[in-house]
Every structure is written in C-alpha cells, then in structure tokens.
C-alpha cells in the first residue's frame, strides 16, 4: 500500500462526495445517491495504492483498469478521475451539459480515464473479462476492477460473465458489488432479492468477501486479499448505504434514485460533510 | 455456374489464414464454432480462441473488452442469435465506443432449410444497419467472402459480415475484388438494373440470362456492402436504366432494398420492385423449396423486372 493514511483517504472521499453533490445539483439531474454509496470503494482503488495508473498516459497498456458497470454512478467516476488528474476539476460543473464530455453516463470516447461506455446495465463485467483475457495473453500483470450495482446483478449477462471468468481462472479480475440495497423502484429485497450474494458467486467459482463498504480499512484489506487470490476471480460484496452519509437528510426518500439534491438540500449536505471527522 | 463452398466455410478458412498473418486476432465463440466454421481458427490458434458457452451477450462483451485492450476481435454465431439476443451489447459495448470488433452472422436467410424459422436470420442486416459506426457486408459466394474477410479486417471500426449455410454457386469464377462500399457490376444492360447481394446474386445473374433471351438487357450489381451503400453506382443505374429491381434473402423492411431505395430517391427517383421476404417468417423445408415458396428465385426477379418494363 502506498504511504497514504486512512485520514488522507477520508479527506479524498469527502472531496469526491462534495463534487458528486455539487455537480448533480448544478446539472439538475443525475444519480447522486448511487454515486455516494461507492465513494470508499473508488477512493481505496484510486488513492489507496490499489491501482496502478498514470493520468498523463490514460492509454498506457500496463495500467490497471477500472470499469464502472453501474454507469449511472458517472458523477462518482468523474469526480475520482478529476481528483486523480485525468482532467481538470473545473470540468465537473459541466456535467450533463450540451457539449460536455461529462455525459449523463460514461462515454469512453470523450473522456480520458473512462475504460468503458456504460449505462445499459449488466455489460461491464463481460468487458472486464475481455481486458483480463488480453492481460493473460500478453503476459501482463495489470488488474481489472469492475464496479457493479446490486440491482444490476438482476441482469442475466452478469452471471454469464461470472461463469466464463471462472472458466478462464481470471485471478486478475475483481468485481465489486455496491450493495446499497436499492434499485430504481424500491429496495432490492423487494424487487428481486439476491442476498446473500456470497454463496451465489462462490457457487460460480469465485472467491467472495463481504465487507462494510464504507470502512476504508476493510475495503483496502479486501482488495489486498483479492490480489493474493490465485486461480479464480474475486468478488467483493460491499455493504453500503445509498446516499451515504446523508441518510438522515434523505430519510423521507432513502432511495432518492436518479434525483439530484435540491439547492437547499445540497447546501445542508455540504455543511454536514464539513462537520464530519476525518 | 459451378457450386463452391458455403460462405460460412469460406469465412472460417479465410479467418484462419488471417490468423496466421496477424497474431493479434482473437476469436470469441458462443459454442457454435463447428457451425460458424471458426473451428478452423480454433484448431490452429487455441490460445487466441475463447468459447464462452451459449451466452451471446457475454460473448459480445468479452470481444469488446479484448478490442479495448488492443486485440482485433472477431466473433461469430448464427445471425439471428448474435443480432437478436445480443443487440444491446452490440449497441452499447461495440457500436457506441466504435471498437474493432468484427461480427459474423452465419446461417443467414431462409436457405438454412430444415432447421426452420427459429434459426433463420431474416432481420440481421436491418439490425446491423441500425448500429452507428458499423459497416455491413453481405458476400455472394466463396471467393468474394474470402476477399470480404480481408477487406473488413483492414477496418479499425466495427463491421457485420453475413454468411450462409448452404454451398452456393460461384459468381466470381475468375477471382474478385471486394472494395468496401463499392458495388461490383457483373453484367451491363440498358433496360433494367438488378441489385442483389448474398445468395441472390447468382439468382440475379440467372434472371439476367433469362431476360436476355427475351431481349431485355439487365445490368446486374453485386451490392455486397449495404452500409455504406454505393450511391454513385445506384445513381448511374437509375440514370442509365430507369428501372431497378432489388433482390435479397432478407425481410424487405430495413434491408438492402430500403438502403437502395433511399439512395435512389436522393438522386433520381425511378420505379422499383423488391424481391425478398415479405413481412413473414418462413418454415422448415429444403432450401430450394423454401426459396421457391417464399419468392426468392431467378424467376421471381424476372417477374419483378417485367413488371417494370
């Protein structure tokens, strides 16, 4: 692990959360709560020494890949990529605006650091397998990380992908399921209950870990363990809270799916984040 | 016309040859390599061949990922399965990011015969043409398929290549040149133009012979590339012959006929007739019997041409 402290990572996470809230509220649309639940996961990967990348060389063949399969969490991806130096954070307020490369869902042809164009759920893990197979063929040691939503795992393609990743023993592939417990129309437990997911992935031949997805140390440890796992792919089932840590503010509508915070809510949210201990 | 190999067999052999020359070609399969003939590639290059099982959506996504990491990715399945089962994946994972993925749909059309409508790709060209960034190619025979594989391999963008199941007559007996987006004029004539692709090219030539015996001179164009369509050749045909018949082994909606008609009305509207599958599914039966029953023969082209004259 790089010489970055948990306190430093928490500071990064706070910056990213603020950008998510600010950019979606400015855009007047978007998915802030779906983005907020996965902040620690992305922060650990990009800033906790888990991923090898060079923001000045986004096409570097040996880079680790991060694929946002849950493409509606684009505000998270953009905030992370800006913080990592792929482009200026000055661009973040252009989210969803005409002419901006920061589209509503990620477009790999318009923005450096975006590894896949996503937004139609269920497709990112298959793409990740392609990258991981290419690494094996070329005897490269880069790793591939794919972030999925828990609702997204309703899609059959996810399980087609899970089966083939096991066949090819892709120990350079890590799936992370952001188990924030909600999908578009309600709790995942009501729409299509797939928990516990661990036994499902294990039955498909994966190494599964279930963790608190907001505990940075736990997240880092899980990535470390995944990296040490040989001969099979890894999945990290990250238990998260949709909209974290604004659940009290959003308690009238805890899902708050696909809706930005109103200006006054955003103001309160930013103040709340400032009060949080890092 | 002598009978040659099927276009799927020609594709499989050409792909394996290409694999020997380009070591960054990879092939993804949905467990139909003995049908699509990617088995020729698989036998020679097992390390570059990935059978992901009967899972077309994943097959397309895996190919997209391989292409994103710099491979020249090819995938093949039955035309109906890859285009209809994995259309969203072709749209989002391949077409939208404009990746170097070559999609081959075999068992296209109704000439697959006895297996019946569930296996017949009759809408694949229409679907492929509706994917931005895709080039769409429908070769007529063994030699032109061999050329087409090499031609689309040169593209860095996605392409759809259509292949058929049965052995088909050799149209290009003296070799051929397939240039993407450029029709091949196989016969000249002043009275009517027959524009065809795939299996219907040999039928168009037979129709032209029949028409010639009745004093009607037909121009025949092999419009192997449906997208981008050769607008210049179509404009010339309209100007020179004033009448156009389009023949394809595909639904009339959204296929070659639609593409030609759009080009015609942009340049010089002329009367047209369309030979193809008219808004219906076919059925099980021997290929020849099906082509006759569903109006996809030289006689049907002759009849359509005479309606215009």
Q: List the domain boundaries for chain B.
A: 3-169, 184-308
**Which residue in the block uniquely carries the two structure tokens 């694949």?**
B124
Tens digit of pLDDT for each residue in A203-249?
999 999 999 999 999 999 999 999 999 999 999 999 999 999 999 99
**Residue B193 phi, psi dihedral angles, 5° rounding:** -115, 135
Q: What is the CATH number of domain B184-308?
A: 3.40.50.920
| pLDDT given at position B36 | 98
- Indicate yes or no: CB of A133 within 8 angstroms of CB of B66: yes
Helix (H, G, I), strand (E, B) or coil at B26: strand
Task: Check if the beta carbon of residue A121 is closer than 8 Å to that of residue A177.
Answer: no
Residue A87 distance to chain B (closest CA, Å): 20
| pLDDT given at position A278 | 61
Tens digit of pLDDT for each residue in B73-110?
999 999 999 999 999 999 999 999 999 999 999 999 99
B234's CB contacts (< 8 A; 6+ apart) are B183, B195, B244, B260, B263, B264, B267
Tens digit of pLDDT for each residue in A62-99?
999 999 999 999 999 999 999 999 999 999 999 999 99
Sheet holding B25-29, edge to edge: B49-51, B25-29, B72-78, B101-106, B159-162, B135-137, B225-227
Q: What are the catalytic residues of B?
A: 56
Tens digit of pLDDT for each residue in A114-140?
999 999 999 999 999 999 999 999 999
Low-confidence residues of chain B, pLDDT below 70? none
Task: Count A/B contacts: CB-CB distance under 8 Å.
Answer: 109
Tens digit of pLDDT for each residue in B109-158?
999 999 999 999 999 999 999 999 999 999 999 999 999 999 999 999 99
Check whether A2 has a pLDDT greater than 60.
no
Chain A residue numbers touching B97 (CB-CB < 8 A):
107-109, 116-117
CA distance B133 to B103: 13
- Indicate yes or no: CB of B57 within 8 angstroms of CB of A160: yes
What is the number of alpha carbons within 13 Å of residue A233 lying toward its C-beta? 30
- Indicate yes or no: CB of A164 within 8 angstroms of CB of B52: yes
Average pLDDT, chain A: 97
Using alpha carbons only, give the angle A51, A54, A60 rounded to the nearest 5 degrees: 100
> Model's pTM, two decimal places?
0.97
CA distance B53 to B195: 38
A108: nearest CA partner in chain B: B97
| pLDDT given at position B1 | 87
**Residue A25 phi, psi dihedral angles, 5° rounding:** -65, -40
| Six-digit token string for B295 | 């109006």
| pLDDT given at position B268 | 87
**DSSP bridge pairs for B251:** B277
- Indicate yes or no: CB of B92 within 8 angstroms of CB of A117: yes
A71: nearest CA partner in chain B: B92
**DSSP bridge pairs for A173:** A144
Check whether A1 has a pLDDT greater than 70.
no
Map out the domains of chain A with their CATH numbers. Answer: 6-275 (3.40.50.970)
Q: What CATH class has B3-169?
A: alpha beta
| Six-digit token string for B187 | 């016969």
Packed helices A216-228 and A6-27: angle between N→C axes, nearest 10 degrees: 100
Report, as an integer, the average pLDDT of A43-48.
98
Rounded to two decimals, the ipTM of the complex is: 0.97
- Which of B26, B89, B92 is opposite residue A119, by nearest beta carbon? B92
- Indicate yes or no: CB of B96 within 8 angstroms of CB of A117: yes
Task: Check if the beta carbon of residue B33 is closer than 8 Å to that of residue B42.
Answer: yes
| pLDDT given at position B105 | 98
**Which residue in the block uniquely carries the two structure tokens 């010339």?**
B236
- Indicate yes or no: CB of B52 within 8 angstroms of CB of A133: no
CA distance B9 to B264: 34
Specify the DSSP class assigned to residue B183: P
Mutation target for B interface from A107, A109, A127: give the one with most B CBs within 10 A: A127
Task: Check if the beta carbon of residue A80 is closer than 8 Å to that of residue A16.
Answer: yes
Check whether A3 has a pLDDT greater than 80.
no
| pLDDT given at position A110 | 97
User: CA torsion sign, B110 to B112 to B117 to B122?
Assistant: negative
Task: Check if the beta carbon of residue B104 is closer than 8 Å to that of residue B11.
Answer: yes
Tens digit of pLDDT for each residue in A138-178?
999 999 999 999 999 999 999 999 999 999 999 999 999 99
Chain A residue numbers touching B52 (CB-CB < 8 A):
160, 164, 167
């Amino acid at each position: 692990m790089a010489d970055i402290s948990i306190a430093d990572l928490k500071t990064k996470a706070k910056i990213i959360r603020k950008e998510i809230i600010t950019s979606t509220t400015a855009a007047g649309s978007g998915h802030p709560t779906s983005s907020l639940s996965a902040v620690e996961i992305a922060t650990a990967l990009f800033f906790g020494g888990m991923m090898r990348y060079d923001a000045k060389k986004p096409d570097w063949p040996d880079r680790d890949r991060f694929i946002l399969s849950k493409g509606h969490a684009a505000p998270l991806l953009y905030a992370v990529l800006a913080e990592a130096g792929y482009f200026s954070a000055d661009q973040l307020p252009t989210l969803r605006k005409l002419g901006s490369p920061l589209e509503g869902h990620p477009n790999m042809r318009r923005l450096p650091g975006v590894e896949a164009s996503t937004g139609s759920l269920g497709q990112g893990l298959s793409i990740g397998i392609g990258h991981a197979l290419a690494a094996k063929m070329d005897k490269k040691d880069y790793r591939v990380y794919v972030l999925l939503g828990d609702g997204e795992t309703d899609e059959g393609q996810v399980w087609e992908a899970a089966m083939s990743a096991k066949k090819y023993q892709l120990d350079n592939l890590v799936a992370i399921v952001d188990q924030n417990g909600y999908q578009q129309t309600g709790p995942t437990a009501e729409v299509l209950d797939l928990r516990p997911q661990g036994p499902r992935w294990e039955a498909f031949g994966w190494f599964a870990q279930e963790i608190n997805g907001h505990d940075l140390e736990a997240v880092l440890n899980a990535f470390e363990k995944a990296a040490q796992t040989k001969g099979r792919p890894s999945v990290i089932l990250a238990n998260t809270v949709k909209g974290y840590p604004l659940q009290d503010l959003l308690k009238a509508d805890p899902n708050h799916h696909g809706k930005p915070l109103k200006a006054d809510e955003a103001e309160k949210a930013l103040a709340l984040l400032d009060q949080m201990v890092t | 016309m002598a009978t040659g190999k099927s276009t799927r067999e020609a594709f499989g052999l050409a792909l394996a040859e290409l694999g020997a020359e380009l070591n960054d070609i990879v092939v993804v399969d949905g467990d139909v390599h003995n049908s699509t003939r990617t088995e020729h590639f698989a036998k020679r290059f097992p390390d570059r061949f990935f059978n992901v099982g009967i899972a077309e959506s994943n097959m397309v996504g895996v190919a997209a990922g391989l292409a994103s990491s710099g491979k020249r990715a090819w995938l093949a399945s039955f035309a109906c399965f890859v285009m209809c089962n994995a259309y969203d994946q072709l749209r989002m994972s391949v077409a939208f990011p404009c990746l170097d993925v070559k999609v081959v749909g075999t068992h296209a059309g109704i000439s697959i015969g006895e297996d019946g409508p569930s296996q017949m790709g009759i809408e694949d060209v229409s679907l492929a043409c509706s994917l931005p960034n895709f080039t769409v190619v429908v070769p007529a025979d063994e030699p032109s398929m061999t050329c087409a594989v090499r031609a689309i391999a040169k593209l860095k963008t996605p392409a759809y290549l259509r292949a058929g199941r049965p052995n088909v007559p050799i149209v290009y007996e003296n070799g051929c040149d397939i240039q993407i987006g450029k029709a091949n004029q196989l016969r000249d004539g002043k009275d009517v133009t027959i524009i065809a692709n795939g299996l219907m090219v040999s039928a168009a030539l037979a129709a032209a012979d029949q028409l010639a015996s009745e004093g009607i001179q037909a121009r025949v164009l092999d419009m192997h590339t449906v997208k981008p369509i050769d607008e210049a050749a179509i404009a010339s045909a309209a100007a020179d012959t004033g009448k156009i018949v389009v023949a394809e082994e595909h639904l009339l909606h959204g296929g070659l006929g639609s593409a030609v008609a759009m080009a015609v009305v942009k340049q010089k509207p002329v009367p047209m007739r369309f030979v193809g599958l008219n808004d219906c599914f076919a059925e099980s039966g021997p290929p020849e019997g099906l082509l006759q029953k569903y109006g996809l023969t030289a006689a049907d082209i002759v009849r359509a041409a005479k309606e215009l004259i």
